[in-house]
Structure 1
Amino acid sequence: MKSLGKTLLATTVLAIAFGSHASAQSALDTIVQSKKLRCGIMLDSPPAGFRDQNNEPDGYDVTYCKDMAKALGAEPVIVETPSPDRIPALVSNRIDVLIASTTPTPARALTVAFTQPYTNNIMTVVTRKDTGINQYSDLKSKKLGGVVGTTPEQLFKEELAKGWQGSGATYTGYASDAESYLALQQGKIDAILIDVGVFHALSQSGQFPEFVKAGAAPLADFGAIAVHRDDQQFLNWARLFVFQQEVSGRRAEVYTKYYGDGPLPPLTANGVNF
């Protein structure tokens, strides 16, 4: 009898736990009900995210947040989220969605769920005119820099471990793109890796006339939107949103506004969909 009682109790507990999980509200419902969408965005990474002359958030990612909020009938709330804090901000529920040019990796996908790519950062080596760097392989003996927690940083650290460190290369991580640009300008480092579109925007600004491109980097740096790992309803909706931005031509419109008139980067790798 005691055994039967224990079995019934265990079954009841499991049923309650399952029912609680099944009834957990998706962020999608919360956003629609509250009419607020909290987007985590890096505002130190122009032209994806920055502050305009009036100190208001602007950029490619900011526009995507506003488009998403409009589609949900909600007000966009921009939450400034530095690169190292992107995943923690989502996991700790300080934001509803992460729109911060975040590369979807298997390691990150253990913690959050990603849509298909909504942006494609074609990476290039950027250096100064006086460094003698003409291509990616020239970096193996140079002072390199990048932003902490980013894919370019991971690539450089892998190259150092594989042999570049023995050739004299060093790496310094910075808290933001702006800091890495300043370090490159001041000669503290010799090269960084940035998106071709970002380099175009920097060139147009005239702020860094000594910066030049020095060949392509062997790095596929797609950016995906991230939501809570177990929120399948919101993930399904966000994936449809990304698809609609593409087929409607909105992505092309936003890309041209912030990155210029260059070719629109594909959202597939060698014809393979995410």
Structure 2
Amino acid sequence: MKRFAMITMLLVAVFGLLAACSDSSSKTGEKAEEKETLVIGIDDKFAPMGFRDENNEIVGFDIDLAKAAAEKMAVEIEFQPIDWKTKEAELNSGRIDLIWNGYTVTDERKEKVLFTKPYLANAQVVVTLADSELSKLDDLAGKVVGLQSLSSASDALAGNPISEDIKTVTEFSDNVTALSDLKSGRLDAVVIDEIVINYYMTTQKDTFKILEEELAPEEYAVGIKKGNEELQNKVQTALDEMNTDGTAEEISIKWLGEDKVLK
């Protein structure tokens, strides 16, 4: 009888463990479109789209836009700063559910992720110091140029003939560091998002100037994991509603000074 009781207890323990593992597995494998909290991957040094303010709070255009969309979708959101070089890997691994922080639509990225419709127009431009003699793209010949690693700035520069005449292209983890090296004289110019440098030119007056010609126009959209059309449609519906009710326009005026949202 004692042996029988011990075997019974062992079986109960084993089945209990299996049930716990099964429950844990189901939670881990929860689909993004069914989650009550969506994790959004951001570059927290990408003002004015998403960055940390003087209180170390994450703020910005995309932060406000994502929060407003979450209310319409009736979900909670969590902002997760990531290494921008690994953004697609973070998305495809399931560690984040959305890439939403000045994420430029490119043909190469379309092969890796789903996109919403573009919600904001942008361009890649070249910035230098206000007192620099550089004024046009051809002036970059023989110069040292910086940009954010694995960003659309890299693609824009590579697609322009001037890239063959540049002395050195230095890559940085973020735009803040690149601009810091520009101010210190270690760089002659930086390739950067027009929206980003326009923001810095309002906060650091008479420090920078933009060269006459832009490198390439582009558009921002939200990135979703391939195969998750349901979540893509939910986010797009929320964006459409914010365009209709004026929420997106209000956020644009707050952060960009004008309505730049694509309708």
So what's the TM-score if we normalise by structure 2?
0.81
Q: Which has the larger radius of gyration?
A: 2
One-letter amino acid matched to 1:222: E
Q: Secondary structure at the match of 2:96?
A: coil
Unaligned runs of 5+ in 2: 1-28
Query: How far is 1:266 from its partner?
Result: 6.0
1:27 to 29, 32, 40: 32
2:235 to 209, 233, 238: 238
Pick closer, same or farther for the CA change 1:233–1:164 going to 2, 3 Å: closer
| Cα 1:50–1:231 shift into 2, 3 Å | same
1:215 to partner: Cα distance: 1.8
Deviation sequence 1:162-184 (CA, Å, 0-9, x none):
5643x353211100011111011
**Structure 1 residues 143-178: Cα deviation after superposition (integer angstroms, max 9, x where no partner):** 11100011111222344xx5643x353211100011
**Kept after mapping to 1: 8 A contact 2:252/2:261:** no
SS of the aligned residue for 2:222 comes to strand
SS in structure 2 of the partner of residue 178 of structure 1? helix
Give the Å deviation of 1:140: 3.2
Q: For residue 215 of structure 1, give the secondary structure of its aligned residue in structure 2.
A: coil
> 2:19 matched to which residue of 1?
none
- Provide the residue aligned with 2:176 in structure 1: 178
Q: Kindly indicate whether residue 40 of structure 2 is the aligned counterpart of residue 39 of structure 1.
A: yes
Per-residue deviation at 1:56?
Answer: 1.3
Match of 1:194 in 2: 192
3-state DSSP of counterpart to 1:100:
coil
Deviation at 1:84, TM superposition (A): 0.7
Provide the secondary structure at the position in 2 that maps to 1:101. Answer: coil
Indicate yes or no: 2:241 matched with 1:267: no
Partner of 1:220: 217
Taking a change above 3 Å as real, the CA distance of residues 106 and 195 of structure 1, as seen in their structure-2 partners, is closer
| Per-residue Cα deviation, 1:43-95 (whole angstroms, up to 9, x for no partner) | 11111111122211111111122112211222221111232121111111011
CA deviation string 1:238-266 (max 9, x = no partner):
222222222322222112211224xx346
Which stretch shows the higher mean deviation, 189-198 or 81-90? 189-198
Residue pairs, 1:22-101, within 5 angstroms: 26-28=31-33, 30-31=34-35, 35-101=36-102
| Inter-partner Cα distance in structure 1 for 2:210 and 2:242 | 30
Shift of 1:25: 6.9
Identity %: 24
Q: Which moved more, 1:72-81 or 1:41-50?
A: 72-81
For the residue of structure 2 that corresponds to 1:78, the secondary structure is strand
Q: Once superposed, which parts of structure 1, at least 4 consecutive aligned residues long, lie more than 4 Å away?
A: none
1:254 aligns with 2:251: yes
Tell me, which stretches of 5 or more residues in structure 1 are unaligned? 1-23, 269-274
What amino acid maps onto 2:84 in structure 1?
Answer: S
Q: Work out the number of aligned pairs and report it.
A: 235
TM-aligned CA deviation for residue 222 of structure 1: 0.8
1:164/1:66 CA distance change after superposition, 3 Å: closer
Query: Following TM superposition, by how much is the alpha carbon of 1:26 offset from its aligned partner in structure 2, in angstroms?
Result: 4.8
Describe the SS at the equivalent of 1:116: coil
The answer on whether the counterparts of 2:123 and 2:215 sit within 8 Å (CA) in structure 1 is no
C-alpha distance in structure 1 between counterparts of 2:50 and 2:162, whole Å = 35
Distance in 2 between residues matched to 1:155 and 1:230, nearest whole Å: 28
How far 1:130 moved relative to its partner?
3.5
**Partner-residue secondary structure (3-state), 1:201:** helix
Partner residue of 2:8?
none
Distance 1:213 1:115, change over 3 A: same
Counterpart residue identity of residue 228, structure 2: D
* Alpha-carbon distance between aligned partners in 2 of 1:51 and 1:246, rounded to the nearest angstrom: 26
Partner of 1:13: none
Closer/same/farther in 2, CA of residues 37 and 163 from structure 1, 3 Å limit? closer
- Is the 1:101–1:224 Cα contact (8 Å) retained in structure 2? yes
Q: Does 1:205 align with 2:203?
A: yes
Could you state the TM-score of these two structures normalised by the residue count of structure 1? 0.78
